Structure 1
Amino acid sequence: MAHDGVYPAHASVVHDGVHPAHASVVHDGDPAHRSATAGEPAGSGPTAEELGGRARAPFGVYVHVPFCATRCGYCDFNTYTPDELDAGSSMRSWLEGLRTELGRAAAVLGDPPRAETVFVGGGTPSLLGADGLGAVLQAVRDAFGLAAGAEVSTESNPESTSAEFFAGIRDAGYTRVSLGMQSAAEHVLRVLDRQHTPGRAVTAAREARAAGFEHVNLDLIYGTPGERKEDLRASLEAVLAAEVDHVSAYALTVEDGTALARRVRRGELAPPDEDTLAEDYELIDDVLDEAGMGWYEVSNWAAGEDARCRHNLGYWHDGDWWGAGPGAHSHVGGIRWWNVKHPARYGALLGAGLLPVQDGERLTEEDRGTERVMLRLRTSEGLPTGELGDAGLRAASEAAAGGLLDPAAFDGGRAVLTRRGRLLADGVVCRLLE
């Protein structure tokens, strides 16, 4: 299941706000405690003294649900199917751990701002059911509170939703739903090992809208081996028929260790072709733009500013958020850390009175400047050219002259990618940072 945020131009989906790292790793103890019980060493990360009072508004909360009914062949996310977990790693124990982590998070941060965005990702959050997702949101409310008008999103797989499910999570306080459609072509879904039928995602989107959700996203994956242009066009037509106000489209990448990678290595499937991916992206952009959906980040289109995912904008704009759950990443005031990945280890550390931190890093001002270039350049508002040094400005001027950056925007003091620039976003970033 895809989160809305993605960093490289044609790369795998990001679930929990992981940013490219350009800093040394911190090894000075857990944010909550310095010691651990025997056999349960504390994670490494920033201290409570460092974090207290540093969280800024707008502040977000990410919750990682590490459960899936089955594993998709392309997926390398931190998720676990029932046969990969023992009895001590249940949804109930995970929820208990989540409540504990969020409560300690609020204490560590020291009177943090209320959450203006909440994003529940995974994994498959909809496996929790409406009651379970309601409990997750209540845990966030109890720990941080919600700001007025907060955006509250959850990912959902079409096959684990229903009209009653959407009505239930809407009543619980969710304001936005992101559904993993991936494709409308049955043979493409089979290659991806997706379980839902081709039409189920569109039906689910309509059920969500009928339940009162104004903001509904559908995820697409393009470049799957065997996908034809007519397959992609049919998927786009299905998306538009669903009348959603947001679309995320990600190029398929073959991640090491996945079933898809093994099939490609054996020669059963051809790897994605870069020229085909570029053509697919242009088709997606043309169709969505004609339908009134403008791009606002390289992989995301919305039918207006209010339809944009505010939580993901927080990632791209150097915001602060706490990531709760196994493997989740957090960022507060230039300090980043990430949790242990396995649900059993996560629960054990929390049970020992610790926060479940695996490791962390402090970003220097130079690091943060580099990330601002990397992330803001991916958005339609672009990057103020004042963020660039002399060499970066010269490179940006050359990129504008070469059709990679919008010349008019550059003359107005902003570096904004053209569509050709979006296709080569990573390369443009590298040139501006040389």
Structure 2
Amino acid sequence: MSTSTSAERVVEIGMPRLSDSMEEATILSWLKRPGDDVARGEGLVEVETDKATMVYESEIEGVLEEIVVDEGATAALGAVIARIRVDGAHGATPTPPPAAPAGAAQTPSSGAKGKGTVELEFREAVLQALDEELAADERVFLFGEDVAVAGGVFAVTPGLQETHGPDRVFDTPISELAMTGAAYGAAITGKRPVLEIMFGDFLALSMDTLINQATKYWFLTGGRQSVPLVIRSVVGAGGRFGAIHSQMPVSWLTGITGLKIVAPATPADAKGLLKAAIRDENPVVFLEHKRLYTLKGEVGGDEVVPIGRARVAREGRDLTLVTAMKGVHDCQAAAETLAADHGIDAEVVDLRTLRPIDLETVLGSVAKTNRVAIVEEGPLTGGWAGEMLALVAEHGLSDLDDAWRIATPNTPIPYSPPLEDAHLPGPKRIAAEVLQRVRSKTSP
């Protein structure tokens, strides 16, 4: 590291460890150019490792000073690949957290925001929930690809193996079917496994065990044997991961009887719902949107958020927007635009869990606003948004003046950044569709 002034310095960016077996990686493309501003959590470079192609997100905020390793070149683990200039306006280089005391994972420290609350990133909240549940119940264990030594490819699980030992936090080979089978076997013999499937796109490889074994065993044993397992998986687009690492597999799962699907949007819900999922007696798929990992928010102490209970994220009177995960923040941004520019007051309902669905909260909102749009990051055909609309129509038709879906086209997710952005139901598109719909329904 070289220092230019007391308030300005250049930070060297090393090739990050993105898998436990990684010794080197190839730079496929730089997402920023020298002179570009770089935000913390923003995609910096696309890297190809021995296991996957992924985007490395900047851990600091500043200006890209220099690219050291060009596109197409290979660099060893830890080798300098770029330099970022940080100054007083952007903040200094993050200070590594202190060594964790016995019995505590290396969760970054945060300042208190209120009685019993701290500000955490989404990924930190997930880590905290895992650490606390591992400490509280010796039956809980965590396993998956690169969750132990590397601390997760999205840096969600660092320090857990050091704290809880290699028998309770360990890495596995790449075999989603084998891992899911192991989780199922452990669950029916008294353990409470937490399995990480690195990308939700590959949940399809877990389907036989999940559909034909784990979610049926309670029924087949006459209610005598539960299957308390959790599958954590990273989902969602917007990170330039391409068509095979950006999908939203909710529609594959919503028809599976006996399965719960949890989809948090905030750090507080990420922690509280994960704790609830680990304590649940049923199979739970816990979805973590990759574009939320750097989101910050206040998180309480040991609070457990009940599965199956939605929340009203924004009060409104003219229209209800129902959504989940990153869609909550997109809808809130769209609602602010609609209110400021057009006087349309939208209510935003964060479902938090997609199975079971809290229909009561949604119907209560629709009864107030008389209009509903379901916003889903996923294909229009066969998505959970269609099921949600059917439930609203079946149980709340007398309150409805208008109802429709805002989703992605029925196409694979593009890799091109502008095409991927256009593919997704972001704030601008949500606001534009709401405005068009409201105006068309109110015009004489």
TM tier, smaller: 0.3 to 0.5
The structure where helix makes up a greater share of residues is 1
The structure whose Rg is larger is 2
Q: TM-score scaled by structure 2?
A: 0.35
Higher relative contact order (CA 8 A, sep 6+): 1
The structure where strand makes up a greater share of residues is 2
Q: TM-score scaled by structure 1?
A: 0.36
